[in-house]
Amino acid sequence: MDLIRSMGGRATYARVDVSDEASINAMTETALKASGRIDGLINNAAYFREVKLTPFEELGVDEWDRIFQVNVKGVWLCCKAVMPAMRERKRGSIVNIASVVAVAGQPGYLHYVATKGAVLAMTKGLAKECGKDGVRCNVIAPGFVITGATQNRPVEWQQSFLKARAISREQRPDDLVGTALYLLSDLSGFVSGQTIVVDGGHIMY
């Protein structure tokens, strides 16, 4: 935020629990108070840092429910909260961050894969429902991105992604920025309901 301000921009923030509707509504109110409108939403919050490689039949119900609360319910609640502001202006862009595992599958992470698959399906439904209001909804499906939440993954697992890519290097958060800016901007004004895989050329279709 300080970097944005130092470059002449404006920025504010709100601490949010995306599994809590009141918290999300407070975030929306903060955004409206700061700028008077909401042009775009990126749903990037996810429950993943705590997720461990686990055979699906060993997953507990509480763990299954918790990941769905954040990764699926959270996306729905955030979209729900910003829609009135977008609908009022007859324009807006929602970008949901899923994962390439929702396209290709991944053993040992069934609960996480299932939530990201739900995000893909939800985005298509939202695109159909919100298009009449001028709101576009799309998905970015990243590959394995090196972040603080992913650095503790098994090295051999990380290497399997690296070796399968056409661009054989680690993926960083900055690799997603260009696609996100495109989907938020008018350059993608006729793009909705789409999944764009950004993984260095691992999954191709």
> DSSP states of 73-136 as a string?
IHHHHHHHHHHHHHHHHT-EEEEEE--THHHH--TT-HHHHHHHHHHHHHHHHHHHHHGGGTEE
Tell me what the mean pLDDT of segment 72-90 comes to. Answer: 98
Any idea which fold 39-198 has?
Rossmann fold (3.40.50)
Between CA 40 and CA 185 the distance in angstroms is 9
Q: Say what the pLDDT of residue 145 is.
A: 79
Q: Say what the pLDDT of residue 199 is.
A: 92
Q: Say what the pLDDT of residue 83 is.
A: 98
Is residue 205 pLDDT above 90, yes or no? no
DSSP-derived letter for residue 41 is E
Is residue 172 pLDDT above 70, yes or no? yes
Structural Rg of the chain based on CA atoms: 17
Residue 113 pLDDT class (50, 70, 90 cuts): very high
Tell me what the mean pLDDT of segment 182-202 comes to. Answer: 96
Residue 112 pLDDT class (50, 70, 90 cuts): very high
Q: What phi, psi does 95 have (nearest 5°)?
A: -120, 115
pLDDT digits (tens, 9 = 90+) for 124-170: 999 999 999 999 999 999 987 766 656 665 666 666 777 888 998 88
3-class SS shares of the chain: helix, strand, coil, % to 5? 50, 10, 35
Tell me which residues are annotated as active site. Answer: 112
Residue 7 pLDDT class (50, 70, 90 cuts): confident
Which residue ranges make up each domain of the chain?
A: 39-198
pLDDT digits (tens, 9 = 90+) for 34-54: 999 999 999 999 887 778 888
Please, what is the Cα angle at 14 between 9 and 16, to 5 degrees?
A: 140
Report the candidate in 86, 90, 82, 94 with the shortest Cα–Cα distance to residue 122.
Answer: 94
Q: Say what the pLDDT of residue 178 is.
A: 97
Do residues 124 and 102 lie in contact, with contact meaning Cβ atoms separated by under 8 Å? no
Residue 179 pLDDT class (50, 70, 90 cuts): very high
Q: Which residue has the higher pLDDT, 2 or 195?
A: 195
Residue 171 pLDDT class (50, 70, 90 cuts): confident
Mean per-residue pLDDT over the chain, rounded = 91
Q: Say what the pLDDT of residue 153 is.
A: 59
